[in-house]
C-alpha cells in the first residue's frame, strides 16, 4: 500500500499520486461531481470525484467508479476513510490551494449519521461526547500547544540540571491537611489521593537531589463548580535547594514560563491567531511583584473591598489587581508576595523580622491565580512549632519531619495548574475546554 501522507505535508509535494486518511468533515454530493472535505490530525483537504451514476458495461472502470460514487453518497460525517488519488495544486481551491482527485476509497469505519453534538451544544453535552468534541481544530491545537509547552518546560529543567521525579499518588497520610482529601480503602487500612507532591518534593531536598521537577496528576475533594476548579488536575511542580528567599523561586518560575511561552509562540503563534484570534505575547522579565497588603490597598483604591480583611485575594480582587498591573506595567503576570502566615501552610517560612508574614507568593495571570510558591521552613524546631500553631499534631507528621532531622538545605518551590495556564493563554472560559477529560464533583465519565 502507498505510504500515507499527512495533510499538512501535501502542499510541499509535487502533483502526483498520494494516499491520505482521516475522517469526513463534509460531503457535497452534486449531480456531476462530489466533494469531500477530509480531516486528519494535522489539517483538512478537499477531495473531488467526478460522479459516475450509471454503469457502462463496455467500460472496465465503470463499475469501480460507480462503487466510489455510491460510497461517497452514503458517507456520514465522522466516518474514517483512506483515499488514494492524484494531488493537484490549484490556486482556485479555497482550502489550501490543493485538491485530490479520488481513484480509490476504503472505508475503515462508518459513523452513525445522526451526530449527537453540534457547534452550539452546551458544554455539558460536549463533555458527554468529548471524543467527538476533540475533533474540532481548536481542540486539536489546544493539546498540541500543551505538548509544546510541557516539552519546553522539561527542556529548560534538563538544561539547568534538574532531576525529574515521579512521586506517589497513594499516601498513608494527608500531604497538607485533611481538608479536600479523597479517602479510599487500601487493603486493611485507609489511603489518600495526593493533593500535591509537596512533602515528597521536600524529601528530594533532604536526599541531596537539589533541583527537581514533576508534571503529574493531583486530586482535591473540592466541591467547587467554578471555571477554574477540578477534582483531578495536572500539577506542574518544581523545588530547588539553597535558596536565599522566595525571590529565587520567583526568578525560576518566570524564566520557566518565558521558555514555555516562547516555544508555543514560535511553533503555534500563527495557528493561535487563526483559530483563537489571539496574538500570543511572550512575557518580559522580571514580572511585577507586589506585596499582598499593598495589592489589597490598590484594589480598595479602585473601589473594590475584599470581603474579609484577613483573607486571601478573592476572584474579583485578582481581576482588579491584574487590571491595575496591565494598565501600569503592560504586563499579564504579577507576583503577589508576602502572604500572612495565618492563611499559608505551616511549612512556609516566615519573615525573620515579622512572623506574621511568609516568604511566599501567588502568581496571577490574566486575572486568575495559577500558582503558589514559597521558601520552605527547613529548621525542624521552628517547623514543629508552626505545625502546632496550625492545630496539627507533630506525631501525625513524623514521616515528614524525619526529612528535617537528618539535615536539609534551605529550599523552596512552587506548584502550578497546567490547565489554568492553557485556559488563560487561549482566553477560554473554563478549564473544561483545555482538559482532555474533565473531572468534577458530578463528572466521572467518559
Instruction: Please tell me whether residues 217 and 331 are part of one structural domain.
Output: yes
Instruction: Output the domain CATH number for residue 79.
Output: 2.40.50.140
CA–CA gap between residue 75 and residue 178 (Å, rounded): 54
Is 446 within a domain?
no
Q: Structure pTM?
A: 0.95
Q: Structurally, how many domains does the chain consist of?
A: 2
Domain limit, last residue, from 109, 142, 173:
109
Is 421 within a domain?
yes
The response to whether 383 counts as a known ligand-binding position is no
Domain that holds residue 92: 7-109
The response to whether 418 counts as a known ligand-binding position is yes
The response to whether 220 counts as a known ligand-binding position is yes
CA–CA gap between residue 268 and residue 260 (Å, rounded): 12
pLDDT score at 53: 73
Residues in the chain predicted with pLDDT less than 70, given as ranges, are 1, 55-60, 174-179
pLDDT score at 356: 96
The response to whether 372 counts as a known ligand-binding position is yes
The response to whether 420 counts as a known ligand-binding position is yes
pLDDT score at 51: 81
Instruction: Please tell me whether residues 360 and 273 are part of one structural domain.
Output: yes
Instruction: Please tell me whether residues 65 and 132 are part of one structural domain.
Output: no
pLDDT score at 52: 79
Quote the DSSP letter at residue 135. Answer: T
pLDDT score at 197: 95
Reported for 127-133, long-range contacts at CB under 8 A and 24+ positions apart, including other chains, are 127/432, 127/438, 127/443, 128/445, 128/446, 130/436, 130/437, 130/438, 130/446, 131/446, 132/78
Is 420 within a domain?
yes
Is 118 within a domain?
no
Structure-block grid coordinates of residue 355 = 512572623
Is 2 within a domain?
no
Going from the C-alpha of 431 to that of each of 182, 215, 435, the distances in angstroms are 21, 17, 6
Instruction: Please tell me whether residues 161 and 292 are part of one structural domain.
Output: yes
Is 331 within a domain?
yes
The response to whether 419 counts as a known ligand-binding position is yes
pLDDT score at 310: 75
The response to whether 63 counts as a known ligand-binding position is no
Which pLDDT tens digit goes with each residue over 169-199?
999 876 666 668 999 999 999 999 999 999 9
CA–CA gap between residue 238 and residue 128 (Å, rounded): 34
Instruction: Please tell me whether residues 203 and 269 are part of one structural domain.
Output: yes
The response to whether 10 counts as a known ligand-binding position is no
Which residues make Cβ contacts (< 8 Å) with residue 62, sequence separation at least 6? 52, 55, 56
Instruction: Output the domain CATH number for residue 391.
Output: 3.30.930.10
Amino acid at each position: 500500500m502507498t505510504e500515507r501522507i499527512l495533510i499538512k505535508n501535501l502542499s510541499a509535494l509535487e502533483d502526483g499520486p498520494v494516499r491520505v486518511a482521516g475522517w469526513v468533515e463534509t460531503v457535497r454530493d452534486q449531480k456531476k461531481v462530489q466533494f469531500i472535505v477530509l480531516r486528519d490530525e494535522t489539517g483538512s483537504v478537499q477531495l473531488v470525484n467526478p460522479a459516475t451514476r450509471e454503469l457502462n458495461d463496455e467500460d472496465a472502470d465503470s463499475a469501480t467508479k460507480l462503487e466510489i460514487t455510491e460510497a461517497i453518497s452514503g458517507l456520514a460525517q465522522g466516518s474514517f476513510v483512506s483515499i488514494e488519488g492524484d494531488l493537484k495544486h490549484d490556486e482556485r481551491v479555497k482550502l489550501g490551494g490543493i485538491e485530490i482527485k479520488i481513484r480509490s476509497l476504503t472505508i475503515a469505519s462508518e459513523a452513525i449519521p445522526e451526530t449527537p453534538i453540534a457547534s452550539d451544544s452546551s458544554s455539558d453535552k460536549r463533555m458527554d461526547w468529548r471524543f467527538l468534541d476533540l475533533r474540532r481544530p481548536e481542540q486539536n491545537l489546544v493539546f498540541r500547544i500543551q505538548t509544546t509547552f510541557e516539552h519546553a518546560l522539561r527542556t529548560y529543567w534538563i538544561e539547568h540540571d534538574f532531576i525529574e521525579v515521579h512521586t506517589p499518588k497513594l499516601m498513608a497520610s494527608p500531604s497538607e491537611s485533611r481538608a479536600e482529601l479523597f479517602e479510599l480503602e487500601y487493603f486493611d487500612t485507609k489511603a489518600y489521593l495526593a493533593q500535591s507532591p509537596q512533602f515528597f518534593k521536600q524529601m528530594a531536598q533532604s536526599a541531596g537531589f537539589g533541583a527537581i521537577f514533576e508534571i503529574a496528576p493531583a486530586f482535591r475533594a473540592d466541591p467547587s463548580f467554578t471555571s477554574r476548579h477540578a477534582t483531578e488536575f495536572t500539577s506542574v511542580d518544581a523545588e530547588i535547594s539553597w535558596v536565599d528567599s522566595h525571590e529565587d523561586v520567583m526568578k525560576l518560575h518566570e524564566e520557566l514560563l518565558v521558555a514555555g511561552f516562547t516555544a508555543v509562540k514560535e511553533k503555534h503563534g500563527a495557528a493561535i491567531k487563526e483559530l483563537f484570534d489571539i496574538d500570543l505575547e511572550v512575557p518580559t522579565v522580571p514580572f511585577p511583584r507586589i506585596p499582598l497588603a499593598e495589592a489589597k490597598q490598590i484594589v480598595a483604591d479602585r473601589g473594590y473591598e475584599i470581603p474579609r480583611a484577613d483573607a486571601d485575594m478573592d476572584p474579583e480582587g485578582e481581576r482588579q489587581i491584574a487590571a491595575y498591573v496591565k494598565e501600569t506595567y503592560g504586563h499579564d503576570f504579577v507576583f503577589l508576595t508576602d502572604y500572612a502566615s495565618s492563611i499559608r501552610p505551616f511549612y512556609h517560612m516566615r519573615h525573620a523580622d515579622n512572623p506574621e508574614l511568609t516568604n511566599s507568593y501567588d502568581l496571577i495571570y490574566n486575572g486568575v491565580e495559577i500558582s503558589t510558591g514559597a521558601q520552605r521552613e527547613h529548621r525542624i524546631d521552628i517547623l514543629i512549632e508552626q505545625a502546632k500553631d496550625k492545630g496539627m499534631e507533630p506525631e501525625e507528621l513524623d514521616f515528614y519531619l524525619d526529612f528535617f532531622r537528618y539535615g536539609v538545605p534551605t529550599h523552596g518551590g512552587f506548584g502550578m495548574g497546567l490547565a489554568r495556564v492553557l485556559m488563560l493563554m487561549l482566553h477560554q472560559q473554563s478549564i473544561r475546554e483545555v482538559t482532555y477529560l474533565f473531572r468534577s464533583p458530578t463528572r466521572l465519565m467518559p
